[in-house]
Amino acid sequence: MAAINITNVSKIYAGGVEAVKSVSIDIADGEFIVLVGPSGCGKSTLLRMVAGLEAISKGTVEIGDRVINDVEPAERDIAMVFQNYALYPHMTVYNNLAYGLKNRGTPKAEIDARVAEAARMLEIEQYLTRKPRALSGGQRQRVAMGRAIVRKPAAFLFDEPLSNLDAKLRVTMRGEIKQLQKRLGTTSLYVTHDQLEAMTLADRLVVLNGGQIEQIGRPLDVYHKPASTFVASFIGSPAMNLLRATRDGTRLHFGSQVLETGRLTALPTELTVGFRAEDLRVARTSEQSLAMKVDYVEELGAQRLVHGSVDGKTLTAALSPEIELADTIALTIAPLRLHFFDTTTGKRLTQALDGLGGRREVASALETAVG
Amino acid sequence: MTNTPSSSAMSGTLATPAAGGFSRLFGLRKSPTRPPEDTAAKRVQFNSPLLPYLFLAPQMAIIFIFFYWPSVQAIHSSFYLEDPFGFGSTFVGFANYTDVLKSGEYLSIARFTAVFTALVTFFSLAIGLLLAVTADGVIKGNATYKTLLIWVYAIAPPVAGLMGMMMFDQHIGPLVKFAAFFGWDIKVGLYYTDTALAMIVVSVWKQIPYNFIFFLSGLQGIPVSVREAALMDCRSGIRRFWTVTLPLLAPTAFFLLIINTTYALFDTFGVIDVMVKDKAANNPITLVYKVYMDGFRGNDLGGSSAQSVILMVIVFVLTIFQFRFIERRVHYS
């Protein structure tokens, strides 16, 4: 077990394309870090540089106290779980697990013990004599994890390990990975494009975009305080609503519609306003509101997603299924639930409310009690 | 008279196309691209029971005309003593076979054929594999590198034989001059071992590109992530090669083993012919060349047929052996 320090790491390909741009992440011992972003954001490249499968163009990667830039992958004391499992097809499950240990000259008895332990943990004991092709996708994934576990490495690297599984199995395996990592306490770096996986697994998540870090933070912090419009629209499902608005004193103008916020300080007059679909609620007649023209509805059971438009801009609201829908509904939102972003840079505009994390929670509690 | 063993004039008595086609048939049936599980899964239903036979008919006709019929002819004439001038034939039973098997000359040619086949197969496979592994590792300009290696395959066997002869030519051959530098006087066509060496070198050289292509595509068929997984599990490149790469190449290697054995036994005819034709006696030849010599130079059709039947049996046994004992160790993923 060890900490991993990634310092100013860049990946520049032969053609001059910079896939990763000066990324720095400090991962504490035992921490579960998820790298998340759309395809082509450099998350896999970064992971592969830590693994030693790609050369590091600039910067340093340290595992423990050792700079491993020029260390062979097999010597880095890491284990990797691949998207397509990458099991050795000609070896039995037992040999798949034992291979890495055999090559390190681990005594036979020790190998047997470690394989047995990992197999018991992952419930693959009855498959040890089988070849990978005789296993299902989920079982193969377990074997791939077993291969990582038996090595007792300083860090686990996961490269989209659940992408090839069906939706149901993905949820099950997600839970198992989380539990296993907590039990073993091994530092983990996990790559995914699935924001839900990122939210549920991570101690801290790193949102990458275009080779750069957009935000690092605990899942809920990222969810509640996205650092940019990119993060706001990437993390959370449905994506955060983002509307261009003009500020006039304490009022926000969305085209022809106006929302009185009560308190707006030191914000530019042109800005992007964001709000979560679940923060919207149907306004009472006495309240100020935005009129949304309903286009279509997605029923999710526990809630329904209402898609529509406010002054021509698309908007999604997550409402209770009990609410009756008309062609146009009046929606409102608590001013504390609004996010503000710079229209040109997309960066979050800090305001007085941001510093008051505690009060924010209190405010939302009050709001739900009243509403 | 034509020199190539595949010419139709000779197919009546020679086992060359017959036995070669036979083991190729075996080789292709389980080629690396078609794992055995797939064939059972994809079963097509025909409306008419005759239709599948109709589809098979052209292939069956070719096999019948070029394999079964000549084979039966060869077996038939191996029991007869042919009049040298073609006036008739006498039934002699197994006399042709006993004559052949008792002949010391035939047995020594058989021994040489075994050594020749083993060496040519081994070296053409080994060098082909080595080059493929190297080419697979090349990143810059690998297309050029691969093309240069594959080129040689476009050369016809007699031309390869001729070029080989020039390399070993007494006056202008660079290899002869190179050997002379070390005090070794190579005389191809005169000294038995020198001719044997030249035959093996040229035959191997001719076959390397073929093996190279197959090994390279086999290597590229190994999933990248499996190699990367091995990279993290094993630091020694040589050990990785033996424990992961080679086992995954085994289907390709097995296929090539059969093809190369057949090549060394039969398809080296052109090379041998160019090397030993019109040369002094006591030059090494292989069994298939002996069949040709006795049948077409010596006009002993009966004895020649008996030899080709023996050759056919040898190849049959060899192929069965390869499938029974070697293929068992092959993993088809």
The interface predicted TM-score (ipTM) is 0.82
Does the structure show a pLDDT above 80 at B226? Answer: yes
- % chain A with pLDDT above 90: 66
The confidence score (pLDDT) of residue A206 equals 95
What DSSP assignment string belongs to A151-202? T--SEEEEESTTTTS-HHHHHHHHHHHHHHHHHHT-EEEEEES-HHHHHHH-
Distance from CA of A98 to the nearest CA of B (A): 10
Residues β-bridged to residue A244: A272
Q: CA of A21, closest CA in chain B: separation in Å? A: 24
> With bands split at pLDDT 50, 70 and 90, how would you rate the model's confidence at A53?
very high
Interface residues of A toward B, Cβ cutoff 8 Å, are 51-53, 72-76, 78-80, 82-90, 99-100, 103, 131, 133, 147
Nearest chain A residue to B232 by CA: give it: A74
- Least confident among A214-223, A358-367, B115-124, B136-145: A358-367
Instruction: Decide if pLDDT at A60 tops 90.
Output: yes
Name the residue facing B223 among A74, A76, A86 (closest C-beta). Answer: A86
For residue range A93-114, what is the model confidence (pLDDT) as tens digits? 999 999 999 999 999 999 999 9
Q: Hey, what amino acid is at B276?
A: V
pLDDT of residue A80: 94
Minimal Cβ distance to A133: which of B226, B231, B333:
B333
Nearest residue in A to B139, CA atom = A14
pLDDT for A341 equals 92
Distance in Å, alpha carbon of B130 to nearest chain A alpha carbon: 22
pLDDT single digits (tens) B13-45: 333 333 333 333 344 344 444 444 444 455 667
Q: What is the pLDDT of residue A370?
A: 43
Give the model's pLDDT for residue A132: 92
Q: Mean pLDDT check: name the lowest of A276-285, B52-61, B142-151.
A: B142-151
Q: Is residue B142 part of a domain?
A: yes
In a domain, B111, yes or no: yes
Q: Is residue B171 part of a domain?
A: yes
Shortest distance between the Cα of A46 and any Cα of chain B, in A, equals 15
Q: What are the tens digits of pLDDT across the range B79-88?
A: 988 776 767 7
pLDDT of residue A264: 67
What confidence score (pLDDT) does residue A192 get?
Answer: 94
Could you tell me if A201 and A177 are in contact, meaning their C-beta atoms sit under 8 angstroms apart? yes
Predicted pLDDT at B229: 94
Give me the residues paired with residue A157 across strands: A80, A189
pLDDT of B294 > 70? The answer is yes
Share of chain B above pLDDT 70, in %: 84
Q: Given this model, what pLDDT does residue B168 score?
A: 84
Instruction: Report the number of distinct structural domains present in chain B.
Output: 1
Cβ A96 vs Cβ A135: under 8 Å: no
The span from the CA of A132 to the CA of A91, in Å, is 8
Has residue A207 got a pLDDT over 50? yes
A-contacting residues of B 214-253, CB under 8 Å? 223, 225-226, 228-236, 239, 243-244, 247-248, 250
Of A286, A266, A263, the C-alpha closest to A332 is A286
The per-residue pLDDT for B139 is 64
Q: Which of A335-339, B41-45, B233-237 has the lowest mean pLDDT?
A: B41-45
- Please give the single-letter amino acid code of residue A270: E
Has residue A62 got a pLDDT over 90? yes
Q: Are B228 and A78 an interchain contact pair (Cβ–Cβ within 8 Å)?
A: no
Q: What is the pLDDT of residues B160-189, one digit of tens each?
A: 778 877 888 878 888 888 888 887 877 777
CB contact under 8 A, B236 and A83: no
**pLDDT at residue A8 in the model:** 94
Does the beta-carbon distance from A52 to B226 stay under 8 Å? no
What was the pLDDT predicted at A87?
94
Min Cα separation A109/chain B (Å):
19
Instruction: Average the pLDDT over A162-176 and give the result.
Output: 90
Provide, as residue numbers in chain A, all residues whose Cβ is less than 8 Å from the Cβ of B331: 89-90, 131
Tell me, yes or no, whether B116 lies in a domain: yes
Interface residue of A103, A147, A149, A152 to substitute, partner B, most B CBs within 10 Å? A103
Residue B301 has pLDDT above 70, yes or no: yes
pLDDT recorded at residue B11: 37
Q: Report whether pLDDT(B9) > 70.
A: no
Q: In this model, does residue B64 exceed pLDDT 60?
A: yes
Domain for residue B284, yes or no? Answer: yes
Residue B107, chain A, CB below 8 Å: the answer is no
Angstrom distance (rounded) from CA A228 to CA A303: 27
Q: What is the pLDDT of residue B69?
A: 92
CB atoms inside a 10 Å sphere around CB A253: 15
Percent of chain A with pLDDT over 70: 93
B45 domain-assigned: no
In this predicted model, what pLDDT tens digit does every residue of A287-333 receive, in sequence order?
888 889 999 999 998 899 999 998 888 999 999 988 888 889 999 98
Closest Cβ opposite residue A84 in set B223, B243, B244: B223
**pLDDT at residue number B240:** 92
Look at residue B229 and tell me if it is in a domain: yes
What's the domain range around B325?
Answer: 106-329
Angle, vertex CA B65, rays to CA B59 and CA B70, nearest 5? 135
Residues of B in contact with A85 (CB under 8 A): 225
When pLDDT is averaged across residues B77-104 and rounded to a whole number, the result is: 82
**Per-residue pLDDT band at B136 (split at 50, 70, 90):** confident
Q: Is A74's CB within 8 Å of B247's CB?
A: no
Is the predicted pLDDT of residue B7 greater than 50, yes or no?
no
Which pLDDT value is given to residue B2? Answer: 36
Cβ–Cβ below 8 Å for A73 and B232: yes
The confidence score (pLDDT) of residue B43 equals 63
Q: How many CB pairs under 8 A join A and B?
A: 64
Report the distance separating Cα B200 and Cα A319, nearest Å. Answer: 82
The enclosing domain of B272 has a CATH number of 1.10.3720.10
Q: Residue B275: which pLDDT band, with cuts at 50, 70 and 90?
A: confident
In this complex, which of B234, B235, B248 lies closest to A90 when CB atoms are compared?
B248
Chain A residue numbers with beta carbons less than 8 Å from the beta carbon of B236 are 103
Best of A88, A141, A143 to disrupt the B interface by mutation (most B CBs within 10 Å)? A88
Residue B168 located in a structural domain: yes
Selected residue of B233, B238, B245, B330 to mutate for chain A interface (largest A Cβ count, 10 A) = B233
**What's the confidence (pLDDT) of residue B333?**
59
